A and B are shown apart, each in its own frame.
Chain A
Amino acid sequence: MKRKIIYTLALLALIATSCRKESKLNPESVNAVSFEFSFSTPDRVKAQVLGMYSGLKAGDFYGGRYIVYNEVRADNYINLTTNAVTAYQVWNFTTSNNAQEVTGLWGAAYSVINRCNLFIDGMAAGGAATVGPALAANYVAEAKLVRAISYYSLLQLYARPYWDGNGSKPGVPLRLKGNSVAGNYDLARNTVGEVYAQIIKDLNEAETALPLNYTTAYDNTIRGHRNTAIAFKTRVYLSMQRYADVITEANKIVSAAAPFTATSGVANALQANVANVFKTPYTTTESIMSSPMNATTDVVGGQTALGSYFFSVREFKLNDAGIIADAGWKATDTRRTLIGTATISGVPSKLMGKFATPSPYIDYVPIIRYAEVLLSLGEAITRSTNTVDARAISLLNAVRQRSDATTTFTAVDFPTSADLATAFLKERNIELLGEGLRSPDLLRLGLDLPAKGTVSSVPSTDRRYIFPISQTELLYNKLMTDN
């Protein structure tokens, strides 16, 4: 009997010790910060700032694909792999609403926008107190800059150009508040004009609050400073054909005469050799803003990286009939050294070689660089004055002669201002090849997307002139409408 009691007690003790463990029922993450503590230290706030840029650098966005899509929509490339997941359908204009390119970029852009919105909200709700008002103002300005770049980029692919109806066409839904929980997010498209207005508002506010510069060339390249906001405004206004505003903004960072440099803030200027812009350390003053790649920590992968598309894996080769065929672009032009050659399937071929480093793809992705600002300014002067302006020619020469000292443009080369405008467009095509500006350049002027290889041209009236709207957006945002 005694034994029975002992055994029973022992078993009861077992049961008693097996009682529930409260702490195990309420687990905490060992590797993530709870939402409510995400602004609790200065380090966390700063990490969030860089997080917004890292969102911009997403593979589907400025990590590579935004540039790729805007390149291959135009006429400078021939697809080699017919691979439906590497922009083949963007190239031949067959993307459907649920094409990965269409849904992926849309999602990536809005993911950044929400990060910015959450950040702006969180700073107002206490984050500013964590870091102090001065730094808080800088940080919020960075958020607005990133948000503006994201909205602008969305408009280039998913909305009709500004000239079509003077901004009255459907743009994208403008979201300016952070979203953190499930909810009803039905929101109709704002007009193109409304979205542009918000972009300009953000950039203006960013311009006032961004620091003039950072302490390192690296930070001056990867984070927004005042000149970044100004430079981006030149791109935005050019897209809106508000040439006077392009001039106003550009003049803030372009000296009156050659050599053209920024006179305040970061001393943005052309490099002596354009090839240096695309080489390590990638942080010259010409790169106003770029997405950094760090080989050991965060590069983008294949099927994303520019080097993978255009050079290493060779999804696309340069179109022999594209800009590389231009006779005015001399063989001795330094920019020709950024074109690779290869024999592909027995055919001597040219490759876009600005991003030539093989995997890991450590070449920085340019978001905006100084040469573009000069060309935008020159073009804006030309188009707004309808004259063959000397300063405009000087700006054109600044870019051309940096790489081709043997060519000097003079007024006689341009019988009309239209010829000069065309020259600017061509110079942009040469200078900015591979940097994602060709398709937006064509669209902002209402030019056809030219034919290439087996793909016919797409006129500005065609539905395919812009992307369709993301299928998932159409499904889950009841107020959304397709293009």
Chain B
Amino acid sequence: MKEKLLVLFLLILLSASVNAQQKTITGKITEKGGLPLPGVSVTVPGTRIATQTNEDGVYSITVPNNTTLLAFRFLGYVSKTLTITSGTINVTLEEDTSTLSDVVVTGYGTVKKSDLVGSVVSIRGNQIANRPVQSFDQALGGKAAGVQISIPNGVLNNPPVFRIRGTNSISLSSYPLIIVDGVASFTGDVSGSNAAGNALSSINPQDIETIDILKDAAATAIYGSRAANGVVVITTKRGRTGKATVTYDGWTGIANVQRLPDMMDAYQYTDMKNEGLRNAGTFNAATNAYALTNGPDGNPINTNWYDYAYRQGVSYSSSLSVSGGSESTNYYMSLNYTNQQGIIVKNDYKRLGVLFNIDHKISKTLSVGAKLQYANEDNLAVISSGSLDGQAFSTAGLGRVALVNSPNVSPYSNAGGYNLSGNNLGIMNNKVSQVGFYNPVVQIDLDRSYNYLNRVQSNAFVQYRPIPMVTLRSVYGIDYLYSTNDTFANPVNGDGFAALGSAGMSYSQNKRSVWTTTAQADKTFNNDHTFSLLLGTEQQTTVNTSFGAGRSGLSDLAFNDFTAGYTQFSNTGGFGENYLVSFFGRLNYDYKKKYIVNGTLRQDEYSAFGPDKKAGTFYSFGLGYELAQEDFWKNGKIGKVFSSFKLRGSYGEVGNFAGLGNLAPNSYYSPGLFGGAPTLNFSQAGNSEIGWETSKKLDVGVNFGILKDRITFELAYYKNDIDGLIYNVPQAPSAGLPNSPQTNIGSMYNKGYEFTANAQAITTKNFSWSSSFNFTYNKNVIESLTPTITQFTSTTSGLETANISRVGTSLGMIYVVTTAGVDPATGRRIYVSGSTGRKMLYDHASPVASRWKYEDGSIAPGITSQDQQIYGNSQPKFYGGFNNNFKYKNIDLSLTITYQAGFYIYNGTQASIMDQRFWNNSVDILNRWTTPGQITSVPRVVAGDNMSNGSAVPLDINVYKGDFIKLRDISIGYTVPGSFLTKMKIASARVFVSGQNLLILTKYNGTDPEVSSNGGSNGSQGVERNSVASARVFTAGLNFKF
């Protein structure tokens, strides 16, 4: 083969030398699907001869007869250089999906990846498009080294836990800074209802061109005081010169709940609970017993509460875009609508969104552009799912109610109507005071908890190039987020019972404006020295105004609207404002593309810092060395192995203030009321010394490629040293301060390794396989808190403490009481005292004073929270993903596998479903101890016992390893052959089916090892407590291009 090429080459050379005249080459350039590509630059390498394709993708270029090569380049596609073999050269350009040879967005500009010193992962929009997600971040799991995404549970639009290179804060947010088309986006759950509302869901994933994840100092320092958690830069699609392209993407899917625990049925429940009463010595068939009740059909009622809480959710999504442009004007317009049903009843998500991006060249030197994006989103729920941060013990929480309500009663009474007993589920034939919390069916029928988001994310820019090397640019952008909540709790049963019905309306207006002006100068001297200098200024103002009203005590129970008649009224209001003003600069220099130097400096001044701490200076310094450009390398043996080999390193300092109170430095007295008269109370102990948290980031890496970069590798070591961690230094409660003042006091580090391998493993005419594997090891260690405090605990929803963070450990270690099995002689749980190590046995059936005994039978003081011990880390030590794309003729297959390992989860839900109050239990309870000598892990059941299985104090029996491998996403597509489409005037068409969460390999026994009942909180990760389970989704979809 090689020889043949050589011969051909010689022949061409020969012919060129004979006819030193001109020739014209023509051709058509298309993309994979056959669509013409306009605006492709066609050049003769090494000369100034160049042209572009026209609207039909056709070019014509006249070249000297001795020209042998033509280069074809187009942004977003893999460039090709082809040998001229005839007068017509038609080219198909492949979309560039590899991550090494593209340009990447680095903040206020772009850089070729080859010139990059910083650690940046660039993810193309098509890698996350067409997924059944509400927001793009849910689809990022496993896509990039150093990026950890965990979906906390099956509540729709629940923001994932999103970490870049570890958890980088204790009290502030560890969520990355998200920049959308130059404007820092609001993040987190912005719903004020029981439905989650991820602020990032306003962006239609189909509209995303690229997601660039900036990880180290060199890449992030340009964002200064906000960059410690890493930066994610979202660029939406813009138009390209050429005929209008119409794209339609649609999918429909079904979602089902998975991995729910097996609960006892009515018969098992009734027997087990009576056994508990007998063991407690309080069973009395007439006055204190559980009993079956026959339903209207004459058979005993046997209710599966899952049937009422969960459903099969049906979803669909449509996205239509038109893009194109002329020489001077490019546009991209899109319209999207999605309507998704969650696995929880009446948990819906809807979005109607439009995006319009326009760029216009007024003259050769002056251009303007604008973006207009509007999204209207509905986040709907009926009641608390018990699954969002702070809800784990919500009485109404559907996740728990579906587990623990008694199966031997029905939601409906036999006479029709709801089965109620006061504000609880009715007891029917049971002779106990309570067999359930609220009757969820009443609330599902009558309540609502709706959130509506209106979002405008827009900007406009003017760009001017007074001389070719200088670009001046000024951008004004806004992110306006209006959140409205409409809630109603019925007077029949549930949260609105005592108040005789309650309705709430609230409104929160979040307005951010960002004005950025930059000057960029690029110049190459003597072909070897390339300088690129960026200078800029930016100011950002964020204002939040909110108010809300509550009404309760319906005057007429027939109504459920906020505007109906009520007897009681309440209202709230809030205001907050902050301001960030910055000056920044960045200088890149490279010598012959071999040696690359990068320096960044940014000064931020932020309104919420103390008077002397407002200004902060952040910097980074980076070096890169492309060995493969060295002659010794190119010419040596090593150059034959490694087609590229770049060493890079950077060091710098960035900050974090996300989550800091707007008025944190000041102390205040706040007004209140006492019997209607005004009061004034000490409300905030401020800290005038408060400043940003600093993160000193070190990054050392090597990027190399083999087989002409068909396989590339990236290895990195990083260390983030975080100092001045803001910590709400807990004061002795007896000091009586209204709050724990925030102080820059702690220090912590995250260090780790990242490994990424990308391979175009097989590329033949009919079959191709590309693969990307990434692996991250992260170690998080708290180095210090305060001189006197060396640990702090974090609660789940304010009630259960199962996490502790201690100096020398990672954040949020699982913290539980050690147990030692069940005593075969008595069936009592054996506990180990945290202080003395002595074993104690608990018997709930004994009088209170003698429930706790040592093994010798003497009275023991009992186990309390004081006996809790560190069990293990809740942050995964290892995580990553494995992405594969196969293509055989017209069939494509992609699959994403994600994994996390080396961590523990506290399954508090298991404590709930083994609790010996009236609560229904998991079928595991059938293994309870019944006879002396029996070896079992489940103690004797005693009615009322909430200690033996971990409800009262968290126990180690409910801690499991969280390691998992998950088939996150699999998609099979079929591209309809061109011949058929041409007749239909369709440029390309693809149909696909996909599945999400199809397979989880894990030893974790809860719903999902990614679970987080505490949302994205820093200190209380790895806890599952009464959350709803996760979803498994199947979708089918269509992609068209016209």
Within 8 A of A (CB), among B520-534: none
Instruction: Enumerate chain B residues within 8 angstroms of A33, measured Cβ to Cβ.
Output: 668-671, 680
Cβ-defined partner of A4 (8 Å) among B365, B686, B917, B918: B365
**In the complex the two chains form, what is the Cα distance from A464 to B607 in whole Å?**
50
A14 interface contact, C-beta 8 A: yes
Within 8 A of B (CB), among A136-180: 172-173, 175, 179-180
**In the complex the two chains form, what is the Cα distance from A254 to B427 in whole Å?**
52
A197 interface contact, C-beta 8 A: no
**In the complex the two chains form, what is the Cα distance from A115 to B729 in whole Å?**
20
Instruction: Enumerate chain A residues within 8 angstroms of B671, measured Cβ to Cβ.
Output: 31-33, 47
Task: Say whether B737 contacts A179, CB under 8 Å.
Answer: yes
Closest A residue by C-beta to B517: A15
Cβ-defined partner of A29 (8 Å) among B421, B668, B733, B946: B668
Among the stretches B113-121, B303-311, B717-725, B861-869, the one at the interface with A is B861-869
Task: Say whether B729 contacts A182, CB under 8 Å.
Answer: yes
A181 interface contact, C-beta 8 A: yes
**In the complex the two chains form, what is the Cα distance from A476 to B614 in whole Å?**
30
**In the complex the two chains form, what is the Cα distance from A185 to B434 in whole Å?**
45
Instruction: Enumerate chain B residues within 8 angstroms of A112, measured Cβ to Cβ.
Output: 736
If the complex has contacts A32-B668, A97-B864, A472-B733, are A57 and B674 also in contact, measured as CB distance less than 8 A?
A: yes
Closest A residue by C-beta to B424: A81
Within 8 A of A (CB), among B689-738: 729-738
**In the complex the two chains form, what is the Cα distance from A82 to B945 in whole Å?**
11
Task: Say whether B735 contacts A48, CB under 8 Å.
Answer: no
Among the stretches B189-197, B577-585, B965-973, B994-1002, the one at the interface with A is B577-585
Among the stretches A231-239, A294-302, A390-398, the one at the interface with B is A294-302
Task: Say whether A456 contacts B579, CB under 8 Å.
Answer: no
* Chain A interface extent, by class: 35 or more
Task: Say whether B865 contacts A25, CB under 8 Å.
Answer: no
A345 interface contact, C-beta 8 A: yes
A263 interface contact, C-beta 8 A: no
B267 interface contact, C-beta 8 A: no
Interface string of A440-466 (1 = CB under 8 A from B): 000000000000001110110011100
Instruction: Enumerate chain B residues within 8 angstroms of A81, measured Cβ to Cβ.
Output: 424, 433-434
Task: Say whether B472 contacts A11, CB under 8 Å.
Answer: yes
B464 interface contact, C-beta 8 A: yes
Cβ-defined partner of A96 (8 Å) among B462, B740, B865: B865
Instruction: Enumerate chain A residues within 8 angstroms of B577, measured Cβ to Cβ.
Output: 24, 27
If the complex has contacts A14-B517, A314-B422, are A183 and B731 also in contact, measured as CB distance less than 8 A?
A: yes
Instruction: Enumerate chain B residues within 8 angstroms of A14, measured Cβ to Cβ.
Output: 474, 517
* CB of A345 to closest CB in B, whole Å: 4
Interface string of B659-687 (1 = CB under 8 A from A): 00011001111111111111111111111
**In the complex the two chains form, what is the Cα distance from A21 to B678 in whole Å?**
35
A326 interface contact, C-beta 8 A: no
Task: Say whether A53 contacts B733, CB under 8 Å.
Answer: no
Task: Say whether A345 contacts B730, CB under 8 Å.
Answer: no
Cβ-defined partner of A20 (8 Å) among B434, B539, B738: B539
* CB of B502 to closest CB in A, whole Å: 9
Question: Residue among A97, A181, A344, A480 with the most chain B CB within 10 A?
Answer: A181
Cβ-defined partner of B537 (8 Å) among A18, A38, A80, A115: A18
Within 8 A of B (CB), among A21-68: 21, 24-27, 29-35, 38, 43-44, 47-48, 50-51, 53-55, 57
Instruction: Enumerate chain B residues within 8 angstroms of A35, measured Cβ to Cβ.
Output: 666-669, 682, 686
* CB of A40 to closest CB in B, whole Å: 10
Task: Say whether B733 contacts A470, CB under 8 Å.
Answer: yes
If the complex has contacts A93-B848, A115-B682, are A53 and B674 also in contact, measured as CB distance less than 8 A?
A: yes
* CB of B787 to closest CB in A, whole Å: 9
Instruction: Enumerate chain B residues within 8 angstroms of A312, measured Cβ to Cβ.
Output: 498
B9 interface contact, C-beta 8 A: no
Question: Residue among A27, A172, A458, A470 with the most chain B CB within 10 A?
Answer: A27
Task: Say whether A44 contacts B680, CB under 8 Å.
Answer: yes
Interface string of A184-201 (1 = CB under 8 A from B): 111100000000000000
Cβ-defined partner of B432 (8 Å) among A53, A115, A345: A345
Within 8 A of A (CB), among B600-616: 605-608, 611, 614
Task: Say whether A50 contacts B677, CB under 8 Å.
Answer: yes
Within 8 A of A (CB), among B993-1015: none
Within 8 A of A (CB), among B784-800: 788-789, 793, 798-799
Instruction: Enumerate chain A residues within 8 angstroms of B732, measured Cβ to Cβ.
Output: 185-187, 472-473, 476-477, 480
* CB of A46 to closest CB in B, whole Å: 8
Within 8 A of B (CB), among A80-122: 80-82, 84-85, 89, 92-94, 96-98, 100, 103, 106-107, 110-115, 117-118
B847 interface contact, C-beta 8 A: yes
If the complex has contacts A8-B464, A180-B737, are A15 and B537 also in contact, measured as CB distance less than 8 A?
A: yes
Closest A residue by C-beta to B789: A476
Instruction: Enumerate chain A residues within 8 angstroms of B741, measured Cβ to Cβ.
Output: 181-182
* CB of A100 to closest CB in B, whole Å: 7
Task: Say whether B737 contacts A25, CB under 8 Å.
Answer: no
Task: Say whether A180 contacts B434, CB under 8 Å.
Answer: no
Question: Residue among B614, B681, B946 with the most chain A CB within 10 A?
Answer: B681
A267 interface contact, C-beta 8 A: no
**In the complex the two chains form, what is the Cα distance from A113 to B366 in whole Å?**
67
Interface string of A341-369 (1 = CB under 8 A from B): 00011110000000000111000000000
**In the complex the two chains form, what is the Cα distance from A55 to B669 in whole Å?**
13
Instruction: Enumerate chain A residues within 8 angstroms of B951, measured Cβ to Cβ.
Output: 84
If the complex has contacts A11-B472, A54-B673, are A477 and B541 also in contact, measured as CB distance less than 8 A?
A: no
Within 8 A of A (CB), among B253-293: 280, 282, 287
Instruction: Enumerate chain A residues within 8 angstroms of B737, measured Cβ to Cβ.
Output: 114, 179-180, 182
Closest A residue by C-beta to B497: A313
Task: Say whether A358 contacts B687, CB under 8 Å.
Answer: no
Task: Say whether A344 contacts B422, CB under 8 Å.
Answer: yes
Task: Say whether B675 contacts A292, CB under 8 Å.
Answer: yes
B76 interface contact, C-beta 8 A: no
**In the complex the two chains form, what is the Cα distance from A263 to B80 in whole Å?**
106
Closest B residue by C-beta to A23: B579
Instruction: Enumerate chain A residues within 8 angstroms of B789, measured Cβ to Cβ.
Output: 476
Cβ-defined partner of A180 (8 Å) among B393, B498, B500, B667: B667
Task: Say whether B675 contacts A293, CB under 8 Å.
Answer: yes
Closest A residue by C-beta to B474: A14
Interface string of A403-422 (1 = CB under 8 A from B): 00000000000000000000
B888 interface contact, C-beta 8 A: no
Task: Say whether A296 contacts B676, CB under 8 Å.
Answer: yes
Within 8 A of A (CB), among B624-679: 662-663, 666-679
B18 interface contact, C-beta 8 A: no
A222 interface contact, C-beta 8 A: yes
Task: Say whether B669 contacts A111, CB under 8 Å.
Answer: no
**In the complex the two chains form, what is the Cα distance from A118 to B682 in whole Å?**
9
**In the complex the two chains form, what is the Cα distance from A421 to B472 in whole Å?**
92
* CB of A272 to closest CB in B, whole Å: 26
A224 interface contact, C-beta 8 A: no
Instruction: Enumerate chain B residues within 8 angstroms of A96, measured Cβ to Cβ.
Output: 864-866, 952-953
Closest A residue by C-beta to B615: A25
Task: Say whether B676 contacts A294, CB under 8 Å.
Answer: yes
* CB of B541 to closest CB in A, whole Å: 7
Task: Say whether B434 contacts A111, CB under 8 Å.
Answer: no
If the complex has contacts A33-B680, A47-B671, A345-B433, are A179 and B735 also in contact, measured as CB distance less than 8 A?
A: yes
Task: Say whether A297 contacts B498, CB under 8 Å.
Answer: no
Interface string of B350-373 (1 = CB under 8 A from A): 000000000000000110000000
* CB of B566 to closest CB in A, whole Å: 11
A475 interface contact, C-beta 8 A: yes
**In the complex the two chains form, what is the Cα distance from A313 to B280 in whole Å?**
27
Instruction: Enumerate chain A residues within 8 angstroms of B539, measured Cβ to Cβ.
Output: 18, 20-21
Instruction: Enumerate chain B residues within 8 angstroms of A110, measured Cβ to Cβ.
Output: 733-736
The contact sample of 6 A-B pairs, CB cut-off 8 A, is A80-B434, A110-B736, A172-B734, A182-B731, A313-B498, A470-B733
Given contacts A18-B515, A26-B607, A111-B738, 10 further A-B contacts (CB under 8 A): A4-B466, A18-B539, A25-B607, A27-B579, A35-B686, A48-B679, A106-B733, A298-B674, A475-B730, A480-B732
